[in-house]
Structure 1
Amino acid sequence: MEQLTQKEKVTIMFALMAAMFFAAINQTIVSSAMPRIIALLGGMEYYSWVLTIFMLTSTIATILVGKLSDIYGRKPFLLMGIITFMIGTFLVGTSTSIFQMIAYRGVQGIGAGILMSTTITAVGDLFAPRERAKWTGVMMAVFGFSSVLGPTLGGVMVDHMAWKWLFWIFLPLGLVVLVMIWFMFPKSARKTSESIDYWGSLFLSITIIGLLLGFSWAGSKYDWSSYQIIGLFTISAVSLVILLLIERKAKSPVLPLSMFKNSIVTVSNSIGFLMNAGMMGAMIYLPFFVQGVEGVSATKSGFVTMPMSIMMIILSSLVGRWISKSGKYKRYAMTGTIIMVAGMIMMAFMSSIVMAVASMCVFGIGLGLCMPVFTLTVQNAVAPSQLGVATATSTLFRNLGGTIGIAVLGSVMNSTMSHKLENAMATSEIDLSKLEPEKAGELSKLLDPQLLLNQPKLLELQSTLPDQIKPLFTQMIDMLRSVLSSTLTIVFLIGAILLFVAFVLVFFLKEIPLRTSNAANSEQEKTKEAAQPEVN
């Protein structure tokens, strides 16, 4: 695509940014409204599947389409992703039961996975790595902007109109994006010499499904030692072994193992995995402090986390430009990861809303410095013919990092909180034995830190208690807040350790010049590659 003029490339980029925004805003706009939607549809016990099915289908679509787009070109999958996502989004808005919503969210996830993966890869087709850095930063900023606008807009809309319009309001944008991609994005010739790796695709999908379901349900729906979780991990492990055997002999593997012999790919994906685990820890568990410990409402809690997204938007855009000018990326990776560590340590010891906002600002700066780097390093380290599968693999590792990070930190939080609550009760001055057995039993049921996250219910309970019990109830709530605060300190410190490991790994990230051309099949590029030592 390097034969296109700069004006044509920029025009196509506007279409790709619109596609990215269309996919991202439709995901973030429903985040704050989904609990109310599920309450209206019924079937709250199946709520987790509304989230899980989207994660599963989007992750599998991302990794499978990566290789297919290398064979057939990006345009067919960009169009397929937009159409599938629009169909899924429209159908979700027509849901009359929780089971319909789960099925339609699965369709929506397939479209999202295809669209998000192919959009990022298409940027690599348009621009050589040196210039690509600038546009990658802009794409990350578009994604960050949707994460700021989406939840706030969704909350306002669900209060003032039918919930289906949350899914339908941006469908006209999808039609515009479809037309833009159809007419503007150039076609690419199919690589007829490559075949589709059906068996590899099957066992790769089984491996991913086992891992994601295992880590999503472990410690929440099932115990880590339950036969369900052990069974899922066993299936995933067996499938992985079979996958490796298949990929070693496949003519056109869906997951080329040779790619992982490249240290830049392996190190970058490992850092992305750890970085996403730490990032999800910050996003998921900071509201526990804001709402549970400080007693701030859920609506205002969103404004506390907003600075992280704003800082990420600003820094991602700037870093992309800086990398394009200098051709250097390692300095931003090192600076960003250590700043993220500092932000996470600030979270571990925060004692006020002001400090929470400050920690979000610091963490957002570090995240913004890192975000454009690691996909770029992977794309720059592989041949253009592997651009799709390399980008998809990078996305897969980040998704796995987020899922596994949430599961592990969640298990740490639950076990630590349970232990600390027992110790706190044993050493506190709260004595329920002096109360009537019935009232003592009612109060003991309130020793649940999750109660702190529902401020309206907390105030309602307090207003219904007899006056003589209210002081005791206040003592219990203060103790719960103290337990939750000290537990979150442990969680955030573990998150800081994960990010520090990512920082250490950056030292092993080899910095090679960013290519100024995508023509890797030219004689000049072949000579250059032959002269370079093998990257192990």
Structure 2
Amino acid sequence: MDHLTQKQKVTVMIALMAAMFFAAINQTIVSSAMPRIVALLGGMEYYSWVMTIFMLTSTIATVLVGKLSDIYGRKPFLLGGIIIFMLGCFLTGLSTDIFQMIFYRAIQGIGAGILMSTTVTAVGDLFAPRERAKWTGIMMSIFGFSSILGPTLGGVMIDHMAWKWLFWGFLPLGIVAFLMIWFMFPKAKRVSSESIDYWGSLVLSASIISLLLGFSWAGNKYAWGSPEIIGLFAAAVIGILILIMIERKAKSPVLPLSLFKNSIVTISFAVGFLMNAGMLGAMIYLPFFVQGVEGLTPTQSGFVNIPMSIAMIVLSALTGRWISKSGKYKRFGLIGIAFMIISMIMLANMNSVALAVVSMAVFGVGLGLSMSVFTLTVQNALPPSQLGVATATSTLFRNLGGTIGVTLLGSVMTSTMTRNMEKAMTSGSAVDLSQLDPETAGKLTQLLDPKLLLNQPLLEELQTTLPDQAQSLFAQMLDMLRSVLSDSLSTVFIVGAVLVALGLLLTFFLKEIPLRSSNEKTPNPSEEQTVNKLKKSTVQ
């Protein structure tokens, strides 16, 4: 798209930002309201599927559309992604039971995967890596803004109107985004020499489904050593081996193995995987501390994340400008990941809501500095013809990191909490229930699960049923549970920090090549010398 003027490119970017915001706000607005929506529909035991199915379909769509958009251009997939996402949103609002919602959320996930991946890739079509950094930072800021607005707006809407409007409220924005893309985004010619890798796409999809389901269900729905989990992991391994054989012979592979011969690309994929795996310790388990240990409400807990989102918005925009101006990006990745590690160490030692807020603000600084860097490195190290598949594969590794990280940290949380609970019950500070009557003792025994601290209404209801002589023991038991939960969370945050630290270590080995100042396949002479040296070192 180098033939476009700067004014035309900015106009197209406005259309892309509208599409990005439409996809992002529709994902974040339901985050705080989904538990209540599922409770109203019934079938709370299937709640995890509402989230899992969206993740599965969006991840698969992201990978498959990457190569297809390299062949057919981005515009058809931007338009198609908006239509599918709007359809999924509309149908989800019509759900009358949990199974309909799960099916319609799958459609939503397909649209989201297409739209989010193609939007980021399209920025690469418009701008060379040097200028792309600035616009990528702005796009990340839009996502950060939606993460502030979405949960808060969703909480207000679910309290004051029918839940379907959470899915229908922003549909007009989708229509606007569709029209803007239709009229503003230029159409690209199909690469006629390229063919579609059907077998590779099928095997890749099956492998991703097996892997994600295995990690999603392990230690939760099924035991780690159960036949179901072992079978899913075995199917994923076999699928990957078959995929490698297919991609070696494919004329136009959906996942080119040549990507992994480039050290910059491989390291960037690995860093993205580790960052997402570790950072979810802060994102997922912070509410456990704020609500469980400190006793805040879910709404108040959401406010704790606002400083993080604001810091991320500001730093994402500034980092993009700094990278565009200097042409240097590695330093921002290093500094950003270092901030994330510091934040997670702070989280492991926090003892107040104020410290949690400060820790998340530091975390937001780290995210803002580093979030877009490792997509930029991949795009800069490969020719424009591979832009779509490279961006999609980068997203795939981030999604896999997030899924595996949630499972790993969840297992750490469960095992550590069980161990800490056993120690607390056998220590000298254990609560003695022998002096109570069997009925009252039985009620207090229900409190032996620290996760109950997250259900404040249930605790308040239980407290009202206890006799006066049991109130002091109830308070002691709550203190013990808060101590157990706090210590367990500290371990989770430390493990998350270790994962992110591995990403920092790998970043030191990332070779920094000049950001191209054009989208031509051949860089300028000075850049070409650097790239050639890199290629030689990679082959060696």
TM-score by length of 2: 0.97
In the TM superposition, residue 535 of structure 1 has moved relative to its aligned partner by 4.8
In the alignment, residue 453 of structure 1 is paired with which amino acid?
L
Equivalent residue, structure 1, for 2:477 = 476
C-alpha contact 2:25 2:150 (8 A) present in aligned 1: yes
In the alignment, residue 463 of structure 1 is paired with which amino acid?
T
RMSD: 1.4
User: Aligned partners of 1:523 and 1:328: how far apart in 2?
Assistant: 17
Distance 1:465 1:523, change over 3 A: closer
In the TM superposition, residue 201 of structure 1 has moved relative to its aligned partner by 0.5
CA deviation string 1:116-152 (max 9, x = no partner):
0000000000000000000000000001110110000
Equivalent residue, structure 2, for 1:519 = 520
Equivalent residue, structure 2, for 1:322 = 322
User: Aligned partners of 2:442 and 2:345: how far apart in 1?
Assistant: 39
C-alpha contact 2:57 2:110 (8 A) present in aligned 1: yes
In the TM superposition, residue 435 of structure 1 has moved relative to its aligned partner by 2.5
In the TM superposition, residue 431 of structure 1 has moved relative to its aligned partner by 1.6
Distance 1:103 1:525, change over 3 A: farther
State the secondary structure of the residue aligned to 1:328: coil
User: Aligned partners of 2:31 and 2:271: how far apart in 1?
Assistant: 27
1:416 paired with 2:413, answer: no
User: Aligned partners of 2:463 and 2:43: how far apart in 1?
Assistant: 29
In the alignment, residue 516 of structure 2 is paired with which amino acid?
R
In the TM superposition, residue 221 of structure 1 has moved relative to its aligned partner by 1.5
Equivalent residue, structure 1, for 2:401 = 401
C-alpha contact 1:519 1:525 (8 A) present in aligned 2: no
In the alignment, residue 137 of structure 1 is paired with which amino acid?
G
Equivalent residue, structure 2, for 1:495 = 496
C-alpha contact 1:15 1:180 (8 A) present in aligned 2: yes
In the TM superposition, residue 530 of structure 1 has moved relative to its aligned partner by 5.3
Equivalent residue, structure 1, for 2:239 = 239
User: Aligned partners of 2:532 and 2:511: how far apart in 1?
Assistant: 18
In the alignment, residue 142 of structure 2 is paired with which amino acid?
V
Pairwise mapping of residues 130-141 of structure 1 onto structure 2 (< 5 A)? 130-141=130-141
Pairwise mapping of residues 80-479 of structure 1 onto structure 2 (< 5 A)? 80-427=80-427, 428-479=429-480
User: Aligned partners of 1:117 and 1:38: how far apart in 2?
Assistant: 28
In the TM superposition, residue 36 of structure 1 has moved relative to its aligned partner by 1.0
Equivalent residue, structure 1, for 2:536 = 534
More off after superposition, 34-43 vs 18-27: 34-43
State the secondary structure of the residue aligned to 1:4: coil
In the alignment, residue 198 of structure 2 is paired with which amino acid?
Y
C-alpha contact 2:440 2:470 (8 A) present in aligned 1: no
In the TM superposition, residue 372 of structure 1 has moved relative to its aligned partner by 1.7
C-alpha contact 2:440 2:466 (8 A) present in aligned 1: no
C-alpha contact 1:58 1:111 (8 A) present in aligned 2: yes
More off after superposition, 227-236 vs 424-433: 424-433
C-alpha contact 1:293 1:452 (8 A) present in aligned 2: yes
User: Aligned partners of 1:489 and 1:364: how far apart in 2?
Assistant: 19
C-alpha contact 1:520 1:526 (8 A) present in aligned 2: no
In the TM superposition, residue 484 of structure 1 has moved relative to its aligned partner by 0.4
User: Aligned partners of 2:308 and 2:213: how far apart in 1?
Assistant: 29
C-alpha contact 1:333 1:370 (8 A) present in aligned 2: yes
In the TM superposition, residue 524 of structure 1 has moved relative to its aligned partner by 6.9
User: Aligned partners of 1:346 and 1:221: how far apart in 2?
Assistant: 32
User: Aligned partners of 1:429 and 1:329: how far apart in 2?
Assistant: 53
User: Aligned partners of 1:531 and 1:109: how far apart in 2?
Assistant: 41
CA deviation string 1:202-256 (max 9, x = no partner):
1111111111111111111111111111111111111011011111111111000
In the TM superposition, residue 442 of structure 1 has moved relative to its aligned partner by 2.6
C-alpha contact 2:262 2:535 (8 A) present in aligned 1: no
User: Aligned partners of 2:334 and 2:384: how far apart in 1?
Assistant: 26
In the TM superposition, residue 513 of structure 1 has moved relative to its aligned partner by 0.3
TM-score by length of 1: 0.98
CA deviation string 1:331-352 (max 9, x = no partner):
1011111111000000000010
User: Aligned partners of 1:466 and 1:417: how far apart in 2?
Assistant: 29
**Structure 1: gaps (5+ residues):** none
In the alignment, residue 65 of structure 2 is paired with which amino acid?
V
In the TM superposition, residue 527 of structure 1 has moved relative to its aligned partner by 6.5
User: Aligned partners of 1:521 and 1:372: how far apart in 2?
Assistant: 24
In the TM superposition, residue 305 of structure 1 has moved relative to its aligned partner by 1.5
C-alpha contact 1:261 1:535 (8 A) present in aligned 2: no
Distance 1:531 1:235, change over 3 A: closer
More off after superposition, 514-523 vs 159-168: 514-523
User: Aligned partners of 2:353 and 2:37: how far apart in 1?
Assistant: 30
User: Aligned partners of 1:524 and 1:479: how far apart in 2?
Assistant: 67
CA deviation string 1:159-182 (max 9, x = no partner):
111111111111111111111111
State the secondary structure of the residue aligned to 1:222: coil
User: Aligned partners of 1:112 and 1:43: how far apart in 2?
Assistant: 25
C-alpha contact 2:516 2:523 (8 A) present in aligned 1: no
More off after superposition, 386-395 vs 217-226: 217-226
In the alignment, residue 289 of structure 1 is paired with which amino acid?
F
In the TM superposition, residue 521 of structure 1 has moved relative to its aligned partner by 5.5
More off after superposition, 70-79 vs 456-465: 456-465
In the TM superposition, residue 101 of structure 1 has moved relative to its aligned partner by 0.8
In the TM superposition, residue 438 of structure 1 has moved relative to its aligned partner by 3.3
More off after superposition, 476-485 vs 525-534: 525-534
In the alignment, residue 447 of structure 2 is paired with which amino acid?
L
Equivalent residue, structure 1, for 2:51 = 51
User: Aligned partners of 1:405 and 1:457: how far apart in 2?
Assistant: 30
Distance 1:103 1:524, change over 3 A: same
State the secondary structure of the residue aligned to 2:273: helix
CA deviation string 1:317-365 (max 9, x = no partner):
0000000000000110111111110000000000101110110011110
User: Aligned partners of 1:163 and 1:486: how far apart in 2?
Assistant: 37
User: Aligned partners of 1:509 and 1:43: how far apart in 2?
Assistant: 47
User: Aligned partners of 1:51 and 1:339: how far apart in 2?
Assistant: 29
State the secondary structure of the residue aligned to 1:434: coil
User: Aligned partners of 1:327 and 1:129: how far apart in 2?
Assistant: 9
Distance 1:474 1:441, change over 3 A: same
State the secondary structure of the residue aligned to 2:269: helix
Equivalent residue, structure 2, for 1:28 = 28
User: Aligned partners of 1:248 and 1:524: how far apart in 2?
Assistant: 32
User: Aligned partners of 1:54 and 1:393: how far apart in 2?
Assistant: 18
In the alignment, residue 420 of structure 2 is paired with which amino acid?
K
User: Aligned partners of 1:454 and 1:442: how far apart in 2?
Assistant: 15
In the TM superposition, residue 532 of structure 1 has moved relative to its aligned partner by 5.7
C-alpha contact 2:84 2:107 (8 A) present in aligned 1: yes
C-alpha contact 1:293 1:481 (8 A) present in aligned 2: yes
User: Aligned partners of 2:36 and 2:533: how far apart in 1?
Assistant: 60
CA deviation string 1:303-327 (max 9, x = no partner):
1122111111110000000000000
Give identity over the alignment, percent.
Answer: 72
In the alignment, residue 284 of structure 1 is paired with which amino acid?
I
